[in-house]
Amino acid sequence: MLRAIRGEDVERPPIWMMRQAGRYMKVYQDLCKKHTTFRERSETVDLAVEISLQPYEAFKPDGVILFSDILTPLQGMNIPFDIVKGTGPIIFNPVREMDDIKSITPLEPEKSVPFVGESLKVLRNEIGNEATLLGFCGAPFTLASYIVEGGTSSHYKVIKKMAFDSPAVYEALMNKLTDAVIEYTRYQADSGAQVVQIFDSWASEFSPADFEVYCLPYLQRIVAECKQTHPHVPLILYSSGSAGFLERLATTNADVISLDGTIDMADARARLGMDQAVQGNMDPLHLFASQDFITKKVHETIAKAGNKKHVMNLGHGVMVGTPEENVGHFFKTVRDFRY
Amino acid sequence: MLRAIRGEDVERPPIWMMRQAGRYMKVYQDLCKKHTTFRERSETVDLAVEISLQPYEAFKPDGVILFSDILTPLQGMNIPFDIVKGTGPIIFNPVREMDDIKSITPLEPEKSVPFVGESLKVLRNEIGNEATLLGFCGAPFTLASYIVEGGTSSHYKVIKKMAFDSPAVYEALMNKLTDAVIEYTRYQADSGAQVVQIFDSWASEFSPADFEVYCLPYLQRIVAECKQTHPHVPLILYSSGSAGFLERLATTNADVISLDGTIDMADARARLGMDQAVQGNMDPLHLFASQDFITKKVHETIAKAGNKKHVMNLGHGVMVGTPEENVGHFFKTVRDFRY
């Protein structure tokens, strides 16, 4: 994966899947019966490691991503939350006013979320040089959307109104979150993550013009400051529904732009140029189709991506209910492929 | 609006709003207390007319769209449904197999949904030449998504699996729906609709390559066959999240491509060319911001769209909870504008 991202010759694209560890796997669901809360599973080193390795053992992906959540670091910033089955994230005291923002504390990951670093260290030891270890974090806007809305949102009314009408409050919150994301990314890299993926999943809720004002400067600062201290740790940037602002995403200088399914791989390559490494972007629903269909889509995607700077992935997280044998077929088809 | 769509000189862009009639208006909510079901309100001529005219009286838009639903014609095709407050559409017998499709009957709108034509006739009389009357319909895939999934869906698993793995079933369903959409569009035009907007709202659930296979041919047939009989009735085509396949949407030959907020208006104009009429595309959330902010966004959008072939609109339906005074300001700002 590292060679592919750098643009060196590789025999085939490396492959991993977003949400690679989790609910679509029976071994995970079995483990959930004993360890019933998401926070226990993601914040206990042994469990987080075990879960992260489940798909590695089953499918031999080229990347192993830590089992965690983008909200995990919030507990280190005095933002209490929970992740409730069937409901999703809940922020107990949504942040709305300047006073709320003052109570947010700087993130010191080694103190508040030490299990993240420890899990990464164990994982790095386990997988050696057989696969690349990925860390991840939420981008400031995506984190802010949960913190301000109080949980999952369908229209992002509160945070967008804050951005439009109370820019000083919005900027204060975003700056604090940007500092935390930088700190957290560096911490993960120091703990063994060889690549870190930044999820600005909901940035596309903004129009491209608004994205430039309300997301881009913070993303640019994250990339710039992480590159200063960790120039050799590639950063992957993902936003769902980014077809309308792909070029703008690339101006963050992230090493890899992770494409979702709303853009054709060939169009993305034409728009971004072959020097921009890309990741993606098969439709997660393709994995519900027949294996012949999956094979065809894998080969189409690779053909459109060209023979360098491409990390194979889905365009979104693998879905609950995806047949595991189809996931296996997806990985095998890519592993068997040669440029 | 008609002059703008044809590319004639106009002094400012015409304006209307998707979901212009409905829940964000207090007069509508008051009416709902007496007439409690969506189907009563949308299928009774006097009520549908009254509701369609509520925003016309309040805001003087340049377009008046019939208060209806994309599912309305399904009752004329032997597909029983309801629209339940808080839940959305429910299809009582989801269509999954070839046998289910055989039971779908051809649409004869004047027999099964005569209230649609009657409402359009009354509306056309009421508004005269003061505004343009718009009809609308759902596109085949968007209709099929409800019919197959059984209602609103978040992942479109069933219909996409049908498309990928059972193309003969999918095509049979889509062909029947395409016939119905053509019939229904012609019927609305014959009843007084001067423009018809086709909503393929969920087409962007497909990757652009899949869109070409599973949506585009049906949309092309609709435009071609409606143009044969009604060459002077412009067709507007809307799909949410279409930034990744804008050029493909334009190959339907629809007169107007309605843009959602995920694409910058200037980028859309550059990609489609100024000869392609476009509609949109302010973020509905902008209408929750201050009036100064709204003014700025209106002027930005118009400036990016250029001085012809632009119909001002939101990028998505106006949202419940939008302050009516802000909607008024949005309309007034556009009406007061001069190129």
Task: Give pLDDT tens digits for A38-57.
Answer: 999 999 999 999 999 999 99
Mean pLDDT of chain B: 97
Residues of A in contact with B262 (CB under 8 A): 204, 207-208, 241, 243-245
For B82, the 3-state DSSP assignment is strand
Sign of CA dihedral B123, B129, B130, B133: positive
Sign of CA dihedral B315, B317, B320, B324: positive
pLDDT in the model for residue A153: 86
pLDDT in the model for residue B153: 85
For A324, the 3-state DSSP assignment is helix
- The percent helix, strand, coil of chain B (3-state, each to 5) is 55, 15, 35
Between helix A114-127 and helix A167-190 the angle, nearest 10°, is: 40
pLDDT in the model for residue B200: 97
In terms of CA atoms, which chain A residue is nearest residue B202?
Answer: A262
- The H or E element that residue A39 is part of is helix A38-43
B300 → closest Cβ in A156, A209, A267: A209
Q: Compute the distance between CA of residue A309 and CA of residue A278 in angstroms, rounded to an integer.
A: 6
What are the structural domains, with CATH classification, of chain B? 1-336 (3.20.20.210)
Q: Compute the distance between CA of residue A39 and CA of residue A35 in angstroms, rounded to an integer.
A: 9
Residues β-bridged to residue A133:
A64
Residues of B in contact with A315 (CB under 8 A): 207
Alpha helices (runs of H) in B60-199, residue ranges in sequence order: 98-102, 109-112, 114-127, 140-149, 157-165, 167-190
- Taking each continuous run of H as one helix and of E as one strand, the counts in chain A are 16, 9
Q: Compute the distance between CA of residue B294 and CA of residue A50 in angstroms, rounded to an integer.
A: 51
Question: Is A299 a residue whose pLDDT tops 90?
Answer: yes
Residues β-bridged to residue B132:
B63
Mean pLDDT in residue range A139-163: 95
Contact B202, B151 (CB under 8 A): no
Distance from the Cα of B297 to chain A's closest Cα (Å) equals 10
Question: Is B50 a residue whose pLDDT tops 90?
Answer: yes
> Number of Cβ pairs closer than 8 Å across A and B?
102
Residues of A in contact with B264 (CB under 8 A): 207-209, 244-245
Sign of CA dihedral B311, B317, B322, B325: positive
Question: Is A60 a residue whose pLDDT tops 90?
Answer: yes
Q: Compute the distance between CA of residue B168 and CA of residue B304 in angstroms, rounded to an integer.
A: 43
Question: Is B244 a residue whose pLDDT tops 90?
Answer: yes
Distance from the Cα of B19 to chain A's closest Cα (Å) equals 16
Phi, psi of A22 (to 5 degrees): 150, -155
What is the reported pTM?
A: 0.97
Contact B205, B156 (CB under 8 A): yes
Identify the contact set of chain B against chain A, taking CB-CB distances under 8 A: 155-157, 160-161, 164-165, 204, 206-210, 241, 243-245, 261-264, 267, 281, 283, 285-286, 288-290, 293, 300, 315, 319, 321
pLDDT in the model for residue A177: 98
Question: Is A30 a residue whose pLDDT tops 90?
Answer: yes
Mean pLDDT of chain A: 97
Q: Compute the distance between CA of residue B18 and CA of residue B319 in angstroms, rounded to an integer.
A: 10
Q: B70 vs A107, B84, B149, CA distance in Å?
A: 49, 14, 16
Residues β-bridged to residue B258:
B238, B279
Contact B220, B147 (CB under 8 A): no
Say if the Cβ atoms of A283 and B206 lie within 8 Å: yes
**Listed residue (A59, A17, A105) closest to A284, CA to CA:** A17
The predicted-structure confidence for B107-116, as pLDDT tens digits, reads as follows 999 999 999 9
Distance from the Cα of A129 to chain B's closest Cα (Å) equals 34
Mean pLDDT in residue range B204-231: 98
The predicted-structure confidence for A74-109, as pLDDT tens digits, reads as follows 999 999 999 888 888 999 999 999 999 999 999 999
pLDDT in the model for residue A286: 98
Burial bucket for residue A21 (CB in 10 Å: 0-12, 13-18, 19+): buried
Q: Compute the distance between CA of residue A225 and CA of residue A167 in angstroms, rounded to an integer.
A: 23
Phi, psi of B84 (to 5 degrees): -105, 130
Owner of token pair 């802000």: B326
Contacts of A270 (CB under 8 A, 6+ apart): none
Q: Compute the distance between CA of residue A133 and CA of residue A196 in angstroms, rounded to an integer.
A: 9
Q: Compute the distance between CA of residue B192 and CA of residue B230 in angstroms, rounded to an integer.
A: 12
Q: Compute the distance between CA of residue A187 and CA of residue A114 in angstroms, rounded to an integer.
A: 10
**Listed residue (A18, A54, A15, A16) closest to A318, CA to CA:** A18
Q: Compute the distance between CA of residue B282 and CA of residue B265 in angstroms, rounded to an integer.
A: 9
Say if the Cβ atoms of A283 and B241 lie within 8 Å: no
Contact A248, A280 (CB under 8 A): no
Distance from the Cα of B288 to chain A's closest Cα (Å) equals 6
Please state, as a whole number, how many other Cβ atoms lie within 10 Å of the Cβ of residue B263: 27
Sign of CA dihedral B251, B257, B260, B261: positive
Structure tokens at B235: 């067709």
- The H or E element that residue A64 is part of is strand A63-65
Structure tokens at A158: 């509160």
Percent pLDDT > 70 in chain A is 100
Say if the Cβ atoms of B285 and A204 lie within 8 Å: no
Mean pLDDT in residue range A165-180: 98
pLDDT in the model for residue B266: 98
**Listed residue (B218, B225, B109) closest to B172, CA to CA:** B218
A289 → closest Cβ in B161, B243, B288: B161
Phi, psi of A84 (to 5 degrees): -105, 130
Distance from the Cα of A128 to chain B's closest Cα (Å) equals 36
**Listed residue (B77, B273, B51, B55) closest to B173, CA to CA:** B77
Distance from the Cα of A298 to chain B's closest Cα (Å) equals 13
Mean pLDDT in residue range B196-205: 96
Contact B252, B216 (CB under 8 A): yes
Residues of B in contact with A206 (CB under 8 A): 283
Phi, psi of B90 (to 5 degrees): -130, 125
B267 → closest Cβ in A244, A261, A267: A244
A161 → closest Cβ in B160, B261, B288: B288
pLDDT in the model for residue A85: 81
Owner of token pair 């899990």: A119
Say if the Cβ atoms of A288 and B264 lie within 8 Å: no
Mean pLDDT in residue range B67-81: 96
Amino acid, single-letter form, for residue B138: G
Band of pLDDT at residue B192, cut at 50, 70 and 90: very high
pLDDT in the model for residue A88: 87
Mean pLDDT in residue range B302-323: 97
What is the β-pairing status of strands A256-258 and B235-238? unpaired
Alpha helices (runs of H) in A128-257, residue ranges in sequence order: 140-149, 157-165, 167-190, 208-214, 216-229, 246-250
Question: Is B85 a residue whose pLDDT tops 90?
Answer: no
pLDDT in the model for residue B86: 80
Q: Compute the distance between CA of residue A4 and CA of residue A7 in angstroms, rounded to an integer.
A: 5
Percent pLDDT > 90 in chain B is 97
Q: Which residue of A162, A215, A264 to mutate against B (max B Cβ within 10 Å)?
A: A264
Residues of B in contact with A210 (CB under 8 A): 283
- The H or E element that residue B199 is part of is strand B195-199
